[in-house]
Amino acid sequence: MHRPARFAASLCGCLAFALVGCQRGAAPAPVTTTTTTTTTTTRSDDDDAAQARRIEADVRFLADDLLEGRETATRGFDVAALYVAQRLRAIGAEPGGDDGSYFQSVPLLRAQRIDGGGEFRVERAAGTVALKFRDEFLPQLDFAGGQNQVRAPAAFVGQAVYAPELEQDDFAGIDLRGKIAVFFNGAPKRFDHDRRAFYSSYREKLDAVAQRGAVGAVIVATDDEDKRSPWARAVQHWDKPGMRLRGGDGRALDTFPQLRVVAQVSAARAAAVLDAGDRSAAGLFRQAREGALRGYDLPGTLSLSARNTLQATQSRNVVARLPGRDPALRNEHVVFSAHLDHLGIGAPVKGDAIYNGALDNALGVAVMLEAAQQLAHSDAARKRSLLFVALTGEEKGLLGAHWFAGHPSPAGAALVANVNMDMPVLLAPTSDAIPIGVEHSDLQAVLQRAAAQTGVTLSPDPIPEESIFIRSDQYAFIRNGVPAVYLIGGLNGSEAAKGQLSQFLREDYHQPGDDVSQPIQCADAARLARLNARIGEAIAGADKKPAWNAGDFFGEKFAKAAKP
């Protein structure tokens, strides 16, 4: 139900509330703004407290129920974008978007499943088995025309990985032409973390099977996956819209239309698809753990269909700029990014249907805004320009980041580095930070110096197997050849912090519980903002732009994509 009058009144009240939070420097528990003196720079406790209060006010506004979870291309997201644009204007950053504005339009296609909109049948000599929509399988959204179907023989191709440099070919001996490719998620455990991350992505898998002539694809969940992320929880948002970038011809970008239907199958029904002769789903699950998967042709045929609505829409990135002071280098830009969107309104959990995204990623946006505040008032030499971009569509597949990295704004801007902020889980006091992916370029040395200047300890990634390096917006910049650093909150060797992180990922990540009732450590967030600001100063003031390390996997894979 549309309620514009009530919405406008609530907006005024919420803006006032955010400003009061800044002025008073106090807030209802459990959000905390207590301050710890850890930096080596000259700074008063009052400065630290003011930084924490600004971050708190931003988080409280962006994660308020009023914004209805900030889903891409919704009114709630647009209000959040307007708020961030005005904050950047007040900080003193100039417009960096389209036509002298603070906004960059991002063209999208929006697809949404229809209840019962798809079929999955396994047809074999012993009979036909039909899987249940949503309970046992889900078709992925069709962005080509809104509906499609395919009936063809199938072949199991392990994890659909072709990595000749690691002597891995899951397609060996399998002719996929005219067939439906069936495979598991992930990549072999023997791979290093970088290659596991790269080869685990859906994009690489679908590209690999499409190149080999497949006409459809089926991704089967394993029992280990189901333990980490139960099917029932994953499909509770089955009716949430999905999106893709839209090209000038109106068609979806970065899709594989030759794969007429792509579907996912629950681990509980894997046997219906994979059991054949002396092969079984249970045995394949075991072989996946052991790195011993081998492909084989499946008997019979699979019959798949998908139906969904499809419409053109658009969203926008917020873009602001602090210009560099060196005429020869000011067209080189250091990009600070944080995604502004979250999941919107979804399946109720304990009576709450608003997925506020306080940590993911209202806090990341607030950290970026505080870094912008400090950089706008810094007297450090700034040869290069700084861009601050609040991105849309991260939860839909890094869409705003892919659009911005491929269409930099202001027009013609050269992007030389990305400093990304996403979901710093700061729920217990810490004094460290965790850099993700920084070892790929000479940004590592920059980060180490900045950490020493701000009194921050750097800790290793505690969950490298989650491949978060490719799961946030910095990966869109990396794919365009731009070196990146991504910092998340630390753990400080603290069992309390580890426990809070584990609990958050288990219970509140992508759930309504990610709201401002959590004990968000705003003082630690302010320290993270100071660290990011020092990194930006160092890159902007250096004689040379950042470079990939010699022989780096991602550097060699994507450096040629960098725009001069």
Q: What's the CATH number where 485 sits?
A: 3.40.630.10
Choose one of 255, 289, 310: the last residue of a domain.
Answer: 310
Give the separation between CA 505 and CA 521, rounded to whole angstroms: 17
- Mean pLDDT for 454-460 is 92
Choose one of 310, 345, 370: the last residue of a domain.
Answer: 310
In the block, which residue shows the tokens 């499909």? 235
Domain match, 358 and 499 both = yes
Domain match, 63 and 173 both = no
101 in a domain, yes or no?
no
Handedness of CA 506, 512, 513, 515 (dihedral sign): positive
Q: Which ranges constitute the DSSP H helices of 212-269?
A: 223-228, 231-234
100 in a domain, yes or no?
no
pLDDT of residue 564: 65
Q: Which two tokens stand for residue 473?
A: 């917006």
317 in a domain, yes or no?
no
- Mean pLDDT for 163-175 is 96
496-507, pLDDT tens digit by residue? 888 888 899 999
Domain match, 305 and 390 both = no
Give the separation between CA 19 and CA 310, rounded to whole angstroms: 40
Domain match, 537 and 455 both = yes
Handedness of CA 250, 254, 256, 261 (dihedral sign): negative
pLDDT of residue 212: 98
Choose one of 263, 278, 310: the last residue of a domain.
Answer: 310
Output the average pLDDT for the chain. 90
Domain match, 63 and 211 both = no
462 in a domain, yes or no?
yes
pLDDT of residue 42: 53
Q: Is the pLDDT of residue 518 over 80?
A: yes
Give the separation between CA 34 and CA 45, rounded to whole angstroms: 10
pLDDT of residue 468: 80
Domain match, 137 and 74 both = no
- Mean pLDDT for 533-560 is 93
pLDDT of residue 462: 80
pLDDT of residue 13: 40
Domain match, 298 and 327 both = no
22-79, pLDDT tens digit by residue? 333 333 334 544 433 333 345 667 788 999 999 999 999 999 999 999 999 999 999 9
18 — pLDDT class (breaks 50, 70, 90): very low
12 — pLDDT class (breaks 50, 70, 90): very low
Domain match, 421 and 506 both = yes
Domain, as residue range, for 65: 4-92+323-561
233 — pLDDT class (breaks 50, 70, 90): confident
Domain match, 193 and 268 both = yes
289-330, pLDDT tens digit by residue? 999 999 999 999 999 999 999 999 999 999 999 999 999 999
97 in a domain, yes or no?
no
- Mean pLDDT for 377-390 is 94
Domain match, 125 and 40 both = no
- Number of domains observed in the structure of the chain: 2
> For residues 191 and 200, is the Cβ–Cβ distance under 8 A?
no
315 in a domain, yes or no?
no
187-224, pLDDT tens digit by residue? 999 998 889 989 999 999 999 999 999 999 999 999 99
Give the containing element (helix H, strand E) for 219.
Answer: strand 216-220
- Mean pLDDT for 549-553 is 93
Handedness of CA 469, 473, 478, 483 (dihedral sign): negative
pLDDT of residue 175: 97
25 in a domain, yes or no?
yes
563 — pLDDT class (breaks 50, 70, 90): low
Q: What's the CATH number where 147 sits?
A: 3.50.30.30
316 in a domain, yes or no?
no
Domain match, 208 and 121 both = yes
Where is pLDDT greater, at 557 or 562?
557
